Amino acid sequence: MAVSFIPSDFSGVVELGSPRSHQNGAHVNVSTFAPAYSLHYKQQKRTLSQQYTLVGTRLDNSVTIITRHDNRNASQQQARIGGTIYNISDISPDDSNNAIRYDYLTLVKITKGA
- Let me know if residue 1 belongs to a domain: no
- Let me know if residue 27 belongs to a domain: yes
Question: In the chain, at which residue ranges do the beta strands (DSSP E only) sit?
Answer: 12-23, 29-44, 62-68, 78-81, 84-92, 102-109
User: How do strand 84-92 and strand 29-44 relate by DSSP bridges?
Assistant: unpaired
User: How far apart are the two ends of the chain, measured CA to CA in Å?
Assistant: 42
More confident residue, 27 or 47: 27
Q: How many domains, the chain? A: 1
How many Cβ atoms sit within 10 Å of the Cβ of residue 35? 15
- Let me know if residue 35 belongs to a domain: yes
- Let me know if residue 114 belongs to a domain: no
Domain span at residue 92 reads 7-109
| Cα–Cα distance measured from residue 61 to residue 32, given in angstroms and rounded to the nearest whole number | 21
Q: What CATH number does residue 89 fall under?
A: 2.40.10.270
- Let me know if residue 2 belongs to a domain: no
Q: What is the pLDDT of residues 59-84, one digit of tens each?
A: 556 788 999 988 888 889 999 999 99
| Cα–Cα distance measured from residue 49 to residue 52, given in angstroms and rounded to the nearest whole number | 5
pLDDT of residue 1: 46
- Let me know if residue 83 belongs to a domain: yes
